[in-house]
Structure 1
Amino acid sequence: MFARRLRSSAAFGISACVKKEIRPLPLRPARTLNFSTTHSRQTITASIPLPPTKRSFLRRTARVFALAVLFSSAGFIMSVAPVVKAANGYLNPPSDEETLTMFTPSDDVSREVEEFIKNHPIAVELRSQPEYSESRPHLKIPEGQRSHNLTGGTLLGPGRVVVPPFVWSERGGKSLVSISYLGEDLCGHPGLVHGGLLATLLDEGLARCCFAALPNKVGMTANLNINYRNPTPAGGFVVLRAVTTKVEGRKAWVEGRIETLVAEGEKPVVLAEATALFIEPRQAASMARVYPVQ
């Protein structure tokens, strides 16, 4: 009987536990979450953010258009600035006197060459004659365009034509004298200046001599004959002399030579001689406004 009671009590206990676990929990009223401090009482409240107000289509379009115009204008200005600067340099070139102050030697070699040419007796004599004007015509080329010019940029510099040549032009395109220093990086054979460089110097020097004698101060090479007389040592000074022998309308004939630069009283060695014919193009009236007399 005792065992029967024990089994009955155990069954009752299990049944009571099961009934207790599945009994539904009583519902309680909701409470408000508050935080209290010794100084104040704060209540947390939640807020739902409103969606941002959309701008009108017209305002957004105007803004995009304004930005497009701004960036387009900036890009256009940046792209045309070099062109405007170069055009201004051609249309308003520096005077002959101004070119004499536009070059500053940057090393000992160029400073020595510069001073030697300036103070040479030939330069001093030509500078004293009023019918001659002194200049450094290569410096009339706008700075941004010199790298694209053979004699005004590519051939100038250390080891080459060390300093921009000095030029003395007689009024009316009658004659011209130029002094240059030819460095050791201009050789054909070792130690000797390339004959093509001498041809370039003669072509340019003889042309510049006669420009002022032509109606619109512009000429193109029609014929150039050169006779090489002696080898030209590299690393030395040379003098180019040219004379306009005849002018007929748009045509000008010029003779010239390149010789060594020697001390006063010494006889120079003729290195190369040339004759040339230059013809002014028919469209020279418009070209003269773009290419200044150098």
Structure 2
Amino acid sequence: MSIARLAKVETQTLRLLQPTYRTTKAIDTFIQDHPVTRALRANPKFTESRPHLNGPELLRDRKLLAGSLAGTQMISVPPYVFNETNGKRMVMILHVGGDVCSHPDIIHGGLIATLIDDTFCRCCSAVFPKRVGVTANLNVDYRKPASAQSYIVLRAEMAKMEGRKAWMEGRIETLELDGGDPSLIAEAKALFIQPRKTEGMGL
């Protein structure tokens, strides 16, 4: 599937979520209306989607971010994802609740690493010929605890690509309620590899 075709399919996911709970609606509205989201939406280099809503519901339930970690007190609403047209940059915006903590009101560091890994993988998979990449190495430097009940932004960029290998860099930061400057939560670098056999491994 071409990048253009993939972008069209994923863009259709924007119409799939109809929030039912008042809290969920408020979270979704806040992300949609935030200046960071509006700026990305206005940038012609990026395509907006919600890929964690893609595919049959039964299959989504078996995936970590779309299933096990999805919920009003976990990953509260399906993340908003912005892909650069050439597939080399990605921004993901989401809200994290209070049931994924390691200490009171502090998001578990393992979840931070998982979110980075997911974003990196989605970013580089868009440019691999077979559209699939797996993590070979991931290094995370934690800079500041991430608070529960907060909005966060993940930024991923491909630093280099050689054959079946892609080197990724990125960071996770706060999405401030008042539109102020974000605080850096973590930085990361990773190596992803396209497997020789990719049947059944699509995102």
Q: Which among 173, 188, 200 is matched to residue 259 of structure 1?
A: 173
Deviations, residues 53-74 of structure 1 (Å, cap 9, x unaligned): xxxxxxxxxxxxxxxxxxxxxx
1:240–1:101: structure 2 CA closer, same or farther, 3 Å change rule? same
1:215 counterpart = 2:98: no
Q: Which amino acid aligns with 2:74?
A: R
Q: Is the 8 A contact 1:141 1:152 kept in 2?
A: no
Report 1:74-89 matches (<5 A): none
Once the two structures are TM-superposed, the CA of residue 265 in structure 1 deviates from its matched residue by 6.0
Answering whether residue 183 of structure 2 is matched by residue 269 of structure 1, we say yes
Change over 3 Å in CA distance of 1:95–1:108 after alignment to 2: same
Percent identity over the alignment is 46
Alpha-carbon distance in structure 2 between the residues aligned to 1:278 and 1:182? 26
1:233 is matched with which residue? 147
SS for the counterpart of 2:155 is: strand
Is the 2:54–2:60 Cα contact (8 Å) retained in structure 1?
Answer: no
Q: Is the 8 A contact 2:34 2:179 kept in 1?
A: no
Q: 1:213·1:247 contact (CA, 8 Å) conserved in 2?
A: no
Equivalent residue runs for 1:132-143 within 5 Å: 132-143=46-57
What secondary structure, in the 3-state scheme, does the structure 2 residue paired with 1:152 have? Answer: helix
Which residue identity does 1:189 align to in structure 2?
Answer: H
Aligned-partner residue type, residue 279 of structure 1:
I
Q: Which has the higher strand share?
A: 2
Q: Deviations over 1:113-151 (max 9, x none)?
A: 000001111111111122211000111132012222111
The verdict on how the C-alpha distance between 1:263 and 1:236 changes in structure 2, with shifts beyond 3 A counting, is closer
* Structure label with greater radius of gyration: 1
Match of 2:115 in 1: 201
Taking structure 2 as the reference length, what is the TM-score of the superposition? 0.92
Number of equivalenced pairs: 198
Worse-superposed segment, 111-120 or 209-218: 209-218
User: Quick one: which amino acid aligns to residue 210 of structure 1?
Assistant: C
Q: Is 2:69 the counterpart of 1:173?
A: no
Measure how far apart 1:219 and its partner are: 0.6
Kindly indicate which of the two structures has a greater share of residues assigned to helix.
1
Which stretch has the larger CA shift, 268-277 or 142-151?
Answer: 142-151
Can you list the C-alpha shifts for 1:59-106, whole angstroms capped at 9, x where unaligned? xxxxxxxxxxxxxxxxxxxxxxxxxxxxxxxxx9x8122100101111
For 2:104 and 2:60, locate their aligned partners in 1 and report how far apart those are by CA, in whole Å. Answer: 28
Amino acid at match of 1:196: G
Letter in 2 for 1:266: G
Computed over aligned residues only, the root mean square deviation of the Cα atoms, in angstroms, reads 1.8
Rounded Cα–Cα distance in structure 2 between residues aligned with 1:211 and 1:156 = 22
Report the secondary structure of 2:65's partner residue.
Answer: helix
The normalised TM-score by structure 1 is 0.64
Cα 1:136/1:112, change in 2 over 3 Å: same
Name 1:82's counterpart in structure 2: none
Q: For 1:62-141, list aligned pairs within 5 A.
A: 95-141=9-55
Q: Distance in 1 between matches of 2:193 and 2:69?
A: 26
The residue matched to 1:198 in structure 2 has which SS? helix
- Structure 2, unmatched stretches of 5+, are 1-5
